[in-house]
């Protein structure tokens, strides 16, 4: 093999490794904060329930993407963090998940209330 080919191969491997490292350290952005509002009361319609459910599912997908990204990022960053920082990092991600879970529970309650109101009518 010529020296140029060896240098080109080494440069290619180094660039691929650097791209992989950048992917692991990519910025995940801010946590999703656009929680949909869950409707309440007797004036709820099927259309409102469907729209709200769709918004909750969209929000949940954003949370999934954010948490997955942060998990990948944690694999690299945890080696540089103290135990206290790791605990805070995990607690922050748990808070994001718990907000989503609370939203899903409220959505399920709104769906049940809507169905109960439809049965009474």
In terms of DSSP H, where are the helices of 25-82? Answer: 46-77
> Residue 104: is its pLDDT beyond 50?
yes
- Model pLDDT for residues 47-78, shown as the tens digit of each residue: 999 999 999 999 999 999 999 999 999 988 89
Query: Around Cβ 38, how many Cβ atoms within 10 Å?
Result: 21
Say how many domains are in the chain. 1
Query: Is residue 36 one of the residues assigned to a domain?
Result: yes
Query: Is residue 20 one of the residues assigned to a domain?
Result: no
Query: Is residue 81 one of the residues assigned to a domain?
Result: yes
Query: Is residue 102 one of the residues assigned to a domain?
Result: yes
Nearest alpha-carbon partner for 60 in 26, 115, 97, 110: 97
> Residue 118: is its pLDDT beyond 60?
yes
Q: Show the domain range for 70.
A: 30-120
Contact 63, 43 (CB under 8 A): no
Query: Is residue 18 one of the residues assigned to a domain?
Result: no
Give me the mean pLDDT over the 84-90 stretch. 94
Nearest alpha-carbon partner for 121 in 49, 40, 46: 46
Query: Is residue 111 one of the residues assigned to a domain?
Result: yes
Work out whether the CA dihedral 29, 103, 39, 46 comes out positive or negative. positive
> Residue 18: is its pLDDT beyond 60?
no
Query: Is residue 95 one of the residues assigned to a domain?
Result: yes
> Residue 25: is its pLDDT beyond 60?
no
**pLDDT given for residue 21 in this prediction:** 47
**pLDDT given for residue 60 in this prediction:** 96
Query: Is residue 71 one of the residues assigned to a domain?
Result: yes
Place 20 in a pLDDT band, splitting at 50, 70 and 90: very low
Q: From the DSSP assignment, how many helices (H) and strands (E) are in the chain?
A: 3, 0
Place 45 in a pLDDT band, splitting at 50, 70 and 90: confident
Report d(CA 46, CA 91) in Å as an integer.
Answer: 37
């Amino acid at each position: 093999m010529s020296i140029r080919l060896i240098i080109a191969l080494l440069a290619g491997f180094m660039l691929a490794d650097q791209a992989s490292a950048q992917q692991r350290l990519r910025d995940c952005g801010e946590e999703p904060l656009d929680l949909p509002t869950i409707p309440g009361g007797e004036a709820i319609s099927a259309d409102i329930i469907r729209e709200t459910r769709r918004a909750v599912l969209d929000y949940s997908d954003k949370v999934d993407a954010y948490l997955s990204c942060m998990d990948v990022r944690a694999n690299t960053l945890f080696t540089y963090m103290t135990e206290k920082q790791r605990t805070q990092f995990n607690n922050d991600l748990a808070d994001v998940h718990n907000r989503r879970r609370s939203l899903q529970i409220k959505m399920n309650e709104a769906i049940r209330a809507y169905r109960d109101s439809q049965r009474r009518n």
